[in-house]
Amino acid sequence: MLIAHISDLHCGSRAGFNPESLDLAITEINELMPDVVVVTGDITHNGFLSDYRLAVKYIEKIKCERKIIGSGNHDYRSTGYLLYRRYFQKPHILEVENSIIVYLSTARPDRDEGEAGYRQIQWLGKILDRFKDRFKIVALHHHLVPIPDTGLERNTVIDAGDVIRTITQHNVNLVLCGHRHRPWSLNMGNSLIINAGTVSSERFRGFFANSYNVIEVEGNKIDARLKVVGGRTMDFKELLTEREPFIP
């Protein structure tokens, strides 16, 4: 199974949205012909109607039948959560081959920090129980664990501990996050956490290029790589050991 993981498009008329980068990324992804595309939120910059209409045009250009289009904190601004429901709400659970992908909604109206909430965590546990024999992927917008080179930490999931416990207790194989605009990865128990950078915002943090992730899953083996938009493919190990910030 080939997964294209993109995040933090920030579609909008201003504020650092780079339409050329998004067009190029979509061209590259379409050439890859992934089995599934996972978008981990911040599709829009301000949650405005015009932002959503622009985002819909881009998402429609992605030639993949199976997409999960998750929400982020920016999408819930300015009552954008009502528009998100209108344009992108379903599905939040997707079965692809022997895998189950679940999107956990952590965005809340007019708040930057994330929250999964007691009920949603209970729901997640039930879904993971039901599909316990599958390769399990949980996707969410906010990062579960702080990420280096991103300044003062104040935007993680406020109930991250409870989410992490559910993820580790159910042996989730892969966790996909966005939000911080800084690609990163780490192992947590039996789970691999992959954080995406931003695919088309100029608001970089510590990694100064637009990027997305290309993840190949074969059985329980995960091969995750970072693709710089219009540039090279990097191994996440390379990213973790590099001491200088990436500047193209």
As measured in angstroms, the least distance from the Cβ of 203 to Fe ion is: 7
Report helix, strand or coil for 7.
coil
Smallest Cα–Cα separation from 191: which of 131, 127, 132, 137? 137
Q: In this chain, which stretch among 17-25, 39-47, 165-173, 189-197 interacts with Fe ion, using CB under 5 A?
A: 39-47
Output the smallest distance, CB 115 to Fe ion, in A: 13
User: Contacting Fe ion (CB under 5 A), which of 12, 25, 40, 42?
Assistant: 42
Taking CB under 5 A as the criterion, which residues in 47-86 touch Fe ion? 72-73
Interface with Fe ion, residue 179, by CB under 5 A:
yes
Nearer to Fe ion, 34 or 41 (CB): 41
Region from 3-11, 86-94, 210-218, 239-247 binding Fe ion, contact rule CB under 5 A? 3-11
Minimum separation from the CB atom of position 41 to Fe ion (A):
6
Does residue 150 bind Fe ion (CB under 5 A)? no
E-strand ranges in 56-130 read: 67-70, 93-96, 99-104
Sign for the CA dihedral angle at 155, 110, 212, 218 comes to: positive
Q: Which residues of 150-181 are buried (b: 16+ CB within 10 A; e: fewer)?
A: beeeebbbbbbebbbebbeebebbbbbbbbbb
Q: CA–CA separation, 228 vs 246, rounded Å? A: 10
Q: Which amino acid is at 19?
A: P
Q: Length of the chain, please?
A: 248
Cβ proximity to Fe ion: between 34 and 72 the closer is: 72
- At closest approach, how far in Å is the CB of 199 from Fe ion? 10
Radius of gyration of the chain (CA): 16
Q: Between residues 170 and 178, which has the closer beta carbon with respect to Fe ion?
A: 178
Q: Per CB under 5 A, which region of 91-99, 121-129, 173-181, 232-240 contacts Fe ion? A: 173-181
Nearest CB to Fe ion, comparing residues 136 and 179: 179
Minimum gap (Å) between residue 200 Cβ and Fe ion: 10
Tokens of 125: 């546990």
Q: Contact residues for Fe ion (CB under 5 A)? A: 8, 42, 72-73, 179
